[in-house]
Amino acid sequence: MLVRIPDVLSKTQVSEMRHLIDGANWVDGNVTSGSQAALAKQNEQLAGDTLQAQQAGNIILDALQTNPLFISAALPHKVYPPLFNRYAGGQNFGNHVDNSIRPLPNSDFRIRTDLSATLFLAEPDSYDGGELIIDDTYGSHSIKLDAGDMILYPSTSLHRVTPVTRGVRVASFFWLQSMVRDDGQRTLLFDMDRSIQALTASNPDHPSIVQLTGVYHNLVRRWATV
């Protein structure tokens, strides 16, 4: 399931974040790569131990905590602290699959990567190329979103970033461990939750709302791994 989550950050928040991170310490993007990804990856990454990276990451985490679409789609249990990358001058990231387990350096924190997220921090007309291509059973999906929008997709997906031939592509990326491990089950729950919300908005007194809400929570209770 691919879910676009618009306006995770406002344009003002994006501008403030870019002001915070653009002049910080950027390093070779392979500092977080596994052996497979290191062969395909050409980009820069904001050093994760900098104050700017931590402050910017906290802004994103705070925004996600109050985003109902994100919560409905991800059913998050653990969220890896957001990282930041940028591509320019032909840099790209070839086909790869994200590592299944992602530890946080110098800590005992680790997550199973059920979902991957990319939050775009540059407007799409400010750079050429840089599309995130995600392959699934329905084909290849080319994604290039407005600054402040985010794409959420299964970490099992084969994906890549096409070469950036003009301008600079800046984004945040991170992983999530969901309370519901199976993507098919999460998709069913997401569809049901959205349907319940739509029914509540159009007919708040409908007697089926309570019953459907109960079914939703009983399925979460059955499928959750926490």
- Position of tokens 């910017």? 56
Helix, strand and coil percent figures for the chain, each rounded to 5: 35, 30, 35
Continuous H helices in 92-173: none
pLDDT digits (tens, 9 = 90+) for 60-72: 999 999 999 999 9
- Maximum CA extent, the chain: 58
**Are 19 and 68 contained in the same domain?**
yes
* pLDDT at 95 > cutoff 80: yes
Report residue 135 CA to chain centroid gap.
16
**Are 75 and 33 contained in the same domain?**
yes
* pLDDT at 103 > cutoff 60: yes
Q: What is the pLDDT of residue 33?
A: 53
**Are 70 and 111 contained in the same domain?**
yes
pLDDT digits (tens, 9 = 90+) for 172-209: 999 999 999 999 999 999 999 999 999 999 999 999 99
Q: Is 19 annotated as a binding residue?
A: no
* pLDDT at 218 > cutoff 60: yes
Q: What is the pLDDT of residue 137?
A: 86
**Are 131 and 59 contained in the same domain?**
yes
Structure tokens at 122: 């540059």
The total number of structural domains that make up the chain: 2
**Are 106 and 171 contained in the same domain?**
yes
**Are 96 and 77 contained in the same domain?**
yes
- Contact (Cβ atoms closer than 8 angstroms) between residue 48 and residue 15: no
- Residue 198, domain extent: 183-223
Residue 139, by phi and psi: left (phi above 0), alpha (psi -120 to 50) or beta? Answer: left
Q: What is the pLDDT of residue 30?
A: 77
- pLDDT interval class at 116 (50, 70, 90): very high
Cα(158)–Cα(12) distance, rounded to whole angstroms? Answer: 33
**Are 163 and 59 contained in the same domain?**
yes
**Are 140 and 209 contained in the same domain?**
no
**Are 130 and 200 contained in the same domain?**
no
CATH code, domain carrying 133: 2.60.120.620
Contacts (Cβ under 8 Å, ≥6 apart) of 3: 69, 73, 151, 152, 153, 190
Considering the chain, what percentage of its residues have pLDDT values greater than 90?
A: 89
**Are 195 and 87 contained in the same domain?**
no
Domain end residue (candidates: 141, 162, 178):
178
**Are 154 and 219 contained in the same domain?**
no
**Are 165 and 193 contained in the same domain?**
no
Residue 80, by phi and psi: left (phi above 0), alpha (psi -120 to 50) or beta? Answer: beta
Q: Is 98 annotated as a binding residue?
A: yes
Q: What mean pLDDT comes out for the span 100-116?
A: 94
Sign of CA dihedral 116, 57, 121, 160: negative
Structure tokens at 209: 């709302």
* pLDDT at 16 > cutoff 60: yes
CATH code, domain carrying 194: 4.10.860.20
The per-residue pLDDT of the chain, averaged, comes to: 94
